Amino acid sequence: MILGAHLPTAKGFEAALRQAQELKCSCLQIFSKSPRQWQAPPLDAAKAAAFRSAWQESKLAPLVAHDSYLINLAAPDDIIREKSIAAMIDEVERAETLGCDYLVTHCGAHLAKDCDEGSLFNDSSRSFPPGVEAGLDRLAASVRTVLERTPEARVRIALENTAGQGTCLGGPFEHLARVLQEVPSERLAVCFDTCHAFATGHDVSTEAGLEATIANLDHTVGLNNLKVIHLNDSKGELGRHLDRHEHIGQGLIGQEGMRRIVNHPKLSHLPFILETPDLETMLEKNLDAVRALRQMQ
């Protein structure tokens, strides 16, 4: 099983790698800089090179970076959107320098006041509300610009589904699909967060709900584009748009729901990355919980 976690890099990237190895992880997610700041000092080239070779020797894979929470590629304000594009280009370059395979990114928020945009989008004959429509256009244009301005990069940008809170895009998989359609590129992929899916209204806690969610993923973004899973249980109820991660099996997706997810034949080959709470005290227990569930097919 390809299992890992988002680990802190306060003590450096190599420390995160060592911690991943100690926890017997086979993959890793990191921030390449503080996720709550626009600017960061450039990566030290020698340290980055040392990390890259340590990573290669470790045989762990994939290496995933997560982008900053400040970036809003769908922002209606041109200045914020330009700032977000510049920050995203920096994220791509940093991820590339560190040798990351994927850079997970949120889809941004459209910030219009016209609609209940985060809800599930079950009627494919309906178009998106105008605020969503405009936000998705801006998001796609921003992503295209980021790709154009980083032509040499091999790191793939993985669009993550969100909890669909407020005016955040990316709750319905149709939002992600729209970007993939408008910006066809080998350098785009999808990251599926189980907590966010549940919060948006995809009931991955039940067998039928999980099947429906996977079918929905397949006919929107295509399972071939799905490259990373964020495995998190959910504190918030189904469809409540609450982005609150819970320990594996202890949330409303629950043990059985988690067991079905990690063993599902259409998902089980993918990297599972935990973003569960209380890393210092609970991560090892959560990793063990997943390993136990995986054996209970």
Catalytic residues: 36, 66, 69, 106, 160, 193, 196, 230, 243, 245, 275
DSSP for 32-58 reads SS-TT-S--PPPPHHHHHHHHHHHHHH
193 binds Zn ion, rule: CB under 5 A: yes
Alpha carbons 118 and 23: distance in angstroms, whole number: 36
Could you tell me if 189 and 225 are in contact, meaning their C-beta atoms sit under 8 angstroms apart? Answer: yes
Report the nearest approach of Zn ion to the CB of residue 104 (Å): 6
> Considering the complex, what minimum distance in angstroms separates the CB of residue 125 from Zn ion?
31
CB of residue 193 to Zn ion, shortest distance in Å: 4
From 209, 188, 185, 207, select the one nearest 88 (Cα to Cα).
188
Report the residue number, 128 or 198, with the smaller CB distance to Zn ion: 198
Q: 105 forms bridges with which residues in the sheet?
A: 159
Q: Convert residues 228-247 into a mask of x (bound to Zn ion by CB under 5 A) and - (unbound).
A: --x-----------------
The residues, any chain, with a CB within 8 Å of residue 90's CB and separated by 6 or more, are 40
| Stretch of 3-11, 191-199, 246-254, 257-265 contacting Zn ion, by CB under 5 A | 191-199
Tokens of residue 214, six digits: 């996977």
Of 202, 195, 179, 191, give the one whose Cα is nearest residue 226: 191
Q: Which is nearer to Zn ion, 170 or 295 (CB)?
A: 170
Least Cβ distance, residue 292 to Zn ion (angstroms): 22
The one segment of 11-19, 29-37, 138-146, 186-194 that binds Zn ion by CB under 5 A: 186-194
Q: List binders of Zn ion among 154-173 (CB under 5 A).
A: 160
**Binding segment for Zn ion among 41-49, 131-139, 225-233, 258-266 (CB under 5 A)?**
225-233
Nearer to Zn ion, 90 or 193 (CB): 193
**103 or 210, CB closer to Zn ion?**
103
Q: Which amino acid is at 206?
A: T
Q: What is the nearest approach in angstroms of Zn ion to the Cβ of residue 67? A: 8
- The alpha carbon of 114 is separated from its chain's Cα centroid by a whole number of angstroms, namely 27
Q: Which is nearer to Zn ion, 35 or 130 (CB)?
A: 35
Closest separation between CB of residue 6 and Zn ion, Å? 8
Quickly list DSSP for 77-126.
SHHHHHHHHHHHHHHHHHHHHHT-SEEEE---B---SS--TTS----TTS
Stretch that binds Zn ion, among 16-24, 199-207, 224-232, 259-267 (CB under 5 A): 224-232
CA 101/CA 95 separation, integer angstroms = 8
List the interface residues with Zn ion, window 52-71 (CB under 5 A): none
Write out the residues near Zn ion by the rule CB under 5 A: 160, 193, 230
